[in-house]
Amino acid sequence: MNEQELAKQVIQHLDRGLGQIKQGSLYQLQSARLAALEHYREVPQSAFALSWAGDVAFRISHSRHFNLRNLIAAGMLALGMMGVTYWQVVVQANDIAEIDANLLSGELPISAYLDSGFEAWLKRSSQ
């Protein structure tokens, strides 16, 4: 049984039951249906959701530019950016550790790391 045959059988069954419903009930059902349709037409249906994300994913995956080569290139670019960021964090941490070690060992005076021009710049920029 396909979908159209099932729909026809449901319609026939509902039509047979129509003869058993009172006239007042039919009028109430019809007026409720019309009210629901008017309410549906008046109120715009807006849904705050991420429905756009599925649309974007569908468009990207069905684009003619979406292939394995581009996917690998994007992955390599992302990995490269993560590597550079990690390297910068490690280098900065090593620089700070080296400065601390030099200060604690006494090889450099503290005044070598103090920037007296910074306070002057702050005073000028706040005016």
Cβ(89)–Cβ(97) below 8 Å: no
- Whether pLDDT at 83 is above 90: yes
Number of Cβ within 10 Å of residue 119's Cβ equals 10
Instruction: Look at residues 117, 82, 89 and name the one whose alpha carbon lies nearest to residue 97.
Output: 89
Question: pTM for this one?
Answer: 0.36
- Whether pLDDT at 124 is above 80: no
Amino acid at 45: Q
- Whether pLDDT at 6 is above 80: yes
11-59 pLDDT, tens per residue? 787 777 777 788 888 888 888 888 887 877 655 655 556 666 777 777 7
Q: In 40-51, which positions are buried (b, 16+ CB within 10 angstroms) versus exposed (e)?
A: eeeeeeeeeeee
Residue 112 is predicted with a pLDDT of: 60
- Whether pLDDT at 91 is above 80: yes
Average pLDDT in the 98-109 region?
72
- Band of the pLDDT at 80, cuts 50, 70, 90? very high
- Whether pLDDT at 115 is above 70: no
